[in-house]
């Protein structure tokens, strides 16, 4: 069983993935954490984010333990990650890792669940279930602001809103694997939903869709 979750930043993907992973006994991967880890690796090394060759080098050799770093969720690293994700070579370097993760769940797990921007369209087009999570950008900005404040990171709503708008443009207009909804994905708009309501909605979708897609 493979579940693909896509959508823009702060739409509620992460919370939904954690709930679905626990309920269905799935191994979860936030693919965005891979790009954040590469970005953090570059920042730690003092390399310029615009340096394509350095970005590729870090994507091939980054320490996976960085995906657990508390620095991964800062606004700075989030912006940096969206910038290096524009490099197609970087995306290709991380693609193999994501594919292997998706198709080889660890023993005892019923499958995998991945979230990102291009899971259903590029990484796992054969996924058994595809959900596109979205929300109004103003609501997303409020969620991200609350998240940053809870982490004691200084933030201003107007700045967070502008950063999300800029990121949406970068994610949806990049040449390689842009953010877009798969034509057969279920749309989950969380604008007016609590995390529990979004989870129940996703459950109903999964229950109504039998596993019938052929694996590639």
Is the model's pLDDT at 1 over the cut of 50? yes
What CA–CA distance (Å, rounded) separates 212 from 200? Answer: 22
The residue among 37, 39, 30, 36 whose CA lies nearest residue 12 is: 30
Q: Percentage of the chain with pLDDT > 70?
A: 97
What average pLDDT does the structure give for the chain? 92
* pLDDT band of 211, cuts 50, 70, 90: low
The residue ranges of every structural domain in the chain are 2-206
Measured CA distances, 120 to 53, 134, 205 (Å): 28, 15, 16
pLDDT tens figures, 155-169: 899 999 999 999 899
Helices within 85-126 (DSSP H only)? 88-103
Give residue 206's pLDDT.
95
Is the model's pLDDT at 182 over the cut of 50? yes
Give residue 62's pLDDT.
81
Record the tokens describing residue 84, joined without a space: 């290096």
State mean pLDDT over 204-211.
86
What CA–CA distance (Å, rounded) separates 55 from 41? Answer: 9
Give residue 215's pLDDT.
42
Q: Which fold has domain 2-206?
A: Rossmann fold (3.40.50)
Give residue 216's pLDDT.
37
Is the model's pLDDT at 94 over the cut of 50? yes
Is the model's pLDDT at 21 over the cut of 90? yes
Helices within 26-67 (DSSP H only)? 31-45, 52-61
What CA–CA distance (Å, rounded) separates 176 from 86? Answer: 7
Record the tokens describing residue 121, joined without a space: 């369209």
State mean pLDDT over 69-76.
87
Give residue 7's pLDDT.
96
């Amino acid at each position: 069983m493979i579940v693909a979750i896509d959508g823009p930043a702060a739409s509620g993907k992460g919370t939904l993935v954690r709930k679905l992973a626990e309920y269905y006994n799935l191994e979860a991967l936030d693919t965005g954490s891979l790009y954040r880890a590469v970005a953090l690796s570059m920042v730690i090394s003092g390399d310029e984010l615009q340096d394509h060759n350095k970005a590729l080098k870090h994507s091939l050799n980054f320490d996976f333990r960085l995906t657990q770093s508390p620095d991964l969720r800062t606004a700075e690293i989030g912006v940096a990650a969206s910038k290096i994700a524009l490099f197609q070579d970087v995306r290709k370097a991380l693609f193999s890792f994501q594919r292997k993760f998706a198709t080889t769940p660890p023993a005892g797990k019923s499958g995998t669940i991945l979230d990102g921007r291009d899971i259903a369209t590029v990484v796992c087009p054969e996924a058994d279930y595809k959900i596109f999570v979205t929300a109004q950008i103003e609501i997303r900005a409020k969620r991200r602001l609350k998240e940053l404040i809870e982490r004691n990171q200084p933030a201003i709503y107007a700045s967070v809103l502008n950063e999300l708008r800029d990121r949406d443009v970068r994610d949806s207009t990049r040449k390689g694997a842009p953010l877009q909804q798969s034509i057969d994905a279920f749309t989950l708009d969380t604008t007016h939903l609590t995390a529990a309501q979004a989870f129940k909605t996703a459950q109903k979708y999964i229950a109504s869709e039998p596993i019938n897609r052929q694996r590639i």
